[in-house]
Amino acid sequence: MQLTTLWSNWILLSAAICISAVSIAVDFLYSKYCNSNATKPISVNYHFTRKCNKTCAFCFHTEKTSYVAPKEDMKRGLHLLKEAGMRKINFAGGEPFLYPRELAMLCRFCKEELGLESVSIISNGTKITQKWMEENGPWVDVLGVSCDSFDEKTNIAIGRGTGENVKQLFRVRDWCRQLGIKFKLNTVVCAHNWQEDMADIVEKLDPFRWKVFQVLYVEGENDSNETDSGLSRRKRDAKELLISEEQFQTFCDKHKHLNCFIAEPNSLMASSYLILDEFLCFLDKGAGVEKQSRSILEVGVQKALSEVRWDQEAFNERGGLYEWTKDVIGDGGTGGSCGSSLVNKESLQCEIKSIVSARHSILIKDRKLEGGEL
């Protein structure tokens, strides 16, 4: 009787162990499967502030709040993004140079502690100083400056007027060359500047990339009525600045001979950027009203990503992957040549294609599971 009982207990124990082992194996394989097919936020634009010293009428990331996350929250969020596959971070606003100490801390953290391939900044240029550049240049790979016109009257109409626009552009360009930082130019084409010829001065500035955007209309950001925008500088009304595809193409045709020229119509721009706001939530500025995910600090990167749309094919088509680390430029990164020294472009494009393919495969499998085919 005792032997029978012991034998029965041994069989039950063995069965329990086997079931536990199988369960662990299934969980491990499922976790590995999910991780291998997870969306990788390769390049993220972190708008850590909405505050700005300019009033560009077409701005689609307006000063709706004055919030800036605590330093430790920003670091934790960036660490989560790095673990999820982020290789490049772009700090934007608002105007990031309104917070020079925070910006310096973020750049250094991303380079020294996270070891990111690229740290980039986009600025209106007015608050950039030689002192900041010399002190923090080692932690910056790319510095982009927004410039929509070389005509001061046009800049005033847009909301960027300073009187020092062109001079400051050349100063920033020179500081970048001295420090080996890649200098980039951004231009928004709108009703005020679509007929302008900017080619000669852009050639002299010699950026490694000149990104030219068609003005984008985003509900909830730059869709205020005239009365609201007149009462508050935080409100924007871009309706009068919108242009047709034909007008955008006219501007593009006038400048496409420049090697650094990269055009982004609304069709490519709208959902192809991974935008993280001041609350560390992803934003979707595509069709319809702007959508906001929950914070990555609350739900993690993958869950937050699933709550917005990121068009990875458009990201690839607009040249979202390029050689973005300053150290690989053949002559030390001091020249522009409009990005002609992109040595790893093909391998980077292959990687994004494989990511898109993986996402496509998992979507098909999910649909089959829902339909009971697997």
Q: What SS3 state is found at 288?
A: coil
Q: How far is CA 359 from CA 9, 53, 55, 155, 184, in A?
A: 47, 41, 39, 43, 31
* In the block, residue with structure tokens 């909405």: 50
Annotation says 34 is catalytic: no
Strands (E), 34-117: 43-47, 88-92
User: Residue 183: beta bridge partners?
Assistant: 143
Catalytic residue, chosen from 34, 59, 176, 252, is: 59
Q: How far is CA 126 from CA 78, 193, 224, 266, in A?
A: 27, 20, 26, 27
Contact 152, 168 (CB under 8 A): no
Contact 262, 209 (CB under 8 A): yes
Catalytic residue, chosen from 18, 34, 52, 252, is: 52
Annotation says 59 is catalytic: yes
Annotation says 190 is catalytic: no
Report which residue type is found at 346.
Answer: E
Contact 210, 187 (CB under 8 A): yes
Q: Is 55 exposed, middle or buried (0-12, 13-18, 19+ CB in 10 A)?
A: middle
Catalytic residue, chosen from 18, 56, 110, 147, is: 56
Q: Which residues are catalytic?
A: 52, 56, 59
